[in-house]
Amino acid sequence: MSDRDPTAPSLLTRRDAAKRTLLFSAAFLTPGWLARLPAAEPGPLPAEGLHFLVVADYGSQTEDQKAIARRMAIFADHLGAPLAAVLALGDNFYGHLTPERFGPGFEEMYSATSLPCAFYACAGNHDYGTKYDAQPGKLQIELDYATQHPASRWKYPSKWYTLHFPSAANPLVKIIVLDSNYGEQALTPEEEVAQDAFLAAELAQPTAAPWTWVAAHHPLYSDGPHGDNATLIARWGPLLRQADIPLYITGHDHTLQHLQIEGQPTSFVVTGGGGMHLHDIKPQQRGEQFIKSGFGFTHIHLTKEALRLQFVDEAGRRLYGFTKTRDGKLAPLA
């Protein structure tokens, strides 16, 4: 893969350049590691396993979203293996939504040739038109589009749901996709209770999958402007800890983050650089492995033994990466 797509526009405004600060954990800054970061390829990968891309906070239809969409396509073209799926983790469409926006805003935005897999969506705060975009019923348009266009790559079966890859009969990973819009004038109190019960039941249910991840829009913990979500920490934090969930991946803050919180086995990953304006970072010195205000997406390669996760920016550079084994051991991505 080349380091730069010559067709990509220059994206770095003076304001965004000033915001693109970053922080690495000293525990990961091993000799020679930073020198290995420029290329997005994570070194030789096992032939087996599954590949996922993850993007959030992307539905702006700006040049920044287009640049990330192009880079995702280029990255997928160079994988040498098909993608299992793209996880589209909320703020799928900013502003007023009509069904006609799915053409330029999704179907044409993300190359069907390079990214032919399903895009599994969840709701961000801007996907509900109640508090932010003054469009009641906005989320239902997204749900209806998936139902009315079954051949589309846009998949949104319900507000919360479970996925198994590569199949339910022989799963390598179980992914629980949630609607994290608590207190956003979005989910009703009855829906909140029902979803909590769904999550508890899914985590308690025996599974043949070696891995179980949880995905949503809002982080539990974040070093961005929205900060920690006390509601989700109280409602979901104990469940993640008890179930020993290795990965909780989200968006919401327009940053790229990997946090390891003391007492939590979960790696908390934020991948909110999908194309909307960037947010400042606010390091809190409590488990930051990496935080950056910048555009990008996440690539995950998963085998039975380990997951390999990396952030890739709009120019194709690996910004950061780590591996995590099933017993919870972390290491820099070689």
pLDDT in tens, 101-117: 999 999 999 999 999 99
Model confidence at 36: pLDDT above 70: no
The ranges assigned to domains in the chain are 49-332
How much is the pLDDT for 44?
A: 57
Model confidence at 21: pLDDT above 70: no
Q: Which two tokens stand for residue 303?
A: 């085998």
Model confidence at 324: pLDDT above 50: yes
- Dihedral sign of CA atoms 165, 168, 169, 172 in order: positive
Q: What is the rounded distance in angstroms from the CA atom of residue 273 to the CA atom of residue 271?
A: 6
User: What's the mean per-residue pLDDT of the chain?
Assistant: 88
pLDDT tens digit sequence for 168-213:
999 999 999 999 999 888 999 999 999 999 999 999 999 999 999 9
pLDDT tens digit sequence for 121-150:
999 999 998 888 889 999 999 999 999 999
Q: What is the rounded distance in angstroms from the CA atom of residue 221 to the CA atom of residue 294?
A: 18
Please tell me the class of the 49-332 domain: alpha beta
How much is the pLDDT for 153?
A: 98
How much is the pLDDT for 53?
A: 98
pLDDT tens digit sequence for 297-322:
999 999 999 999 999 999 999 999 99
How much is the pLDDT for 33?
A: 34
Model confidence at 5: pLDDT above 70: no
Average pLDDT over residues 46-50: 81
Model confidence at 277: pLDDT above 60: yes
Model confidence at 27: pLDDT above 50: no
How much is the pLDDT for 183?
A: 86
Model confidence at 84: pLDDT above 90: yes
Model confidence at 29: pLDDT above 90: no
What is the pTM (predicted TM-score) of this model? 0.89
pLDDT tens digit sequence for 205-264:
999 999 999 999 999 999 999 999 999 999 999 999 999 999 999 999 999 999 999 999
